[in-house]
Amino acid sequence: MSRENTNESGVPAHVAIVMDGNGRWARARGKARNAGHRAGVRATRQIVEACVERDIRYLTLFAFSSENWKRPPTEVRLLMRLFLEALQREVAELHKNDVRLRFMGDRSLLPDDLVRQMNDSEQLTSGNSGLQLNVAVSYGGRWDIVNAARSLAGAVSDGTLTPAEIDEDQFARALSLGGVPDPDLFIRTGGEKRISNFLLWNLAYAEFYFSNALWPDFDAQALDEAIDDYLSRQRRFGRTAEQVNAG
């Protein structure tokens, strides 16, 4: 059993989750997709609490992708409103629990009131040292990489960086998760087995776990099952099993 990249209590340091299946959860109950998204917000709250209790250091949640802008405008509007309401409702409690909130994604496409609330929440919680909760909204892995390339190109044209200085560490620092260790455990609910343009760079060596549970049904017990599965794997990072066992 590999304990590499786990914290003292043996849980992964960084968990990244694609929260999928809200629409199907609603359809199975004869409800509108919006009801599924509301139930999804409740599940998110529980999982964040569970991560705080389990002393997970980083939790990165995929809430809305670059591609989700293609959804019907009524669904997009409802999601934006749900994000705003959830943030307004939860930020004080998150702050009390020492959670540090960070948002990642293209904010230029988001409604002004949501961006204001995101900025305020980040500022309020910036000094906290508990769970770092990264929420990806209007986020795409390709957008992130292009954004990083653009900022490095800007530094080169300003004369503060030379092309030869651009290495993997430098590039990683320019990404949205710059300074955050790569995810150890990637979870996707909803049964689909794909990344859907989530953290393309950062997932290079994550352990993947796919759950058939729809996101509104994913609870602390389901999270523990994912963590147990993660802990049963040997992470080799290119080396042989013998090398890893020899430490």
What does 22 interact with, of ligand IPE, Mg ion, none (CB < 5 to 8 A by kind)?
A: ligand IPE
The answer to the question of residue 19 lying near Mg ion (CB under 5 A) is no
| Residue number with CB closer to ligand IPE (26 or 152) | 26
CB-count burial class (<10 Å; 0-12, 13-18, 19+) for 218: buried
Q: Is 68 designated active site?
A: yes
Compose the 180-219 pattern: x for residues touching ligand IPE by CB under 6 A, - for all others.
----------x-x-x-x-----------------------
Does residue 20 touch Mg ion according to CB under 5 A? yes
Question: Pick from 15, 11, 4, 17: which is nearest to 218 by CA?
Answer: 17
Kindly give, in sequence order, each residue whose CB lies less than 8 Å from that of residue 100, ignoring residues fewer than 6 positions away.
Answer: 125, 126, 127, 128, 129, 130, 131, 132, 133
Considering 5, 68, 134, 202, which one is annotated as catalytic?
68
Any residues with CB less than 8 A from the CB of 146 and at least 6 apart, and which? none
- The rounded distance, in Å, linking the Cα atoms of 214 and 192 is 10
- Single out the residue of 6, 44, 68, 134 in contact with ligand IPE (rule: CB under 6 A): 68
Which neighbouring-strand residues pair with 58? 14, 132
Q: Is 12 in the site for ligand IPE (CB under 6 A)?
A: no
Looking at beta carbons only, is 12 or 190 nearer to ligand IPE?
190
In the complex, the residues that contact ligand IPE under the rule CB under 6 A are 18-24, 62-65, 67-68, 79, 190, 192, 194, 196
In the complex, the residues that contact Mg ion under the rule CB under 5 A are 20
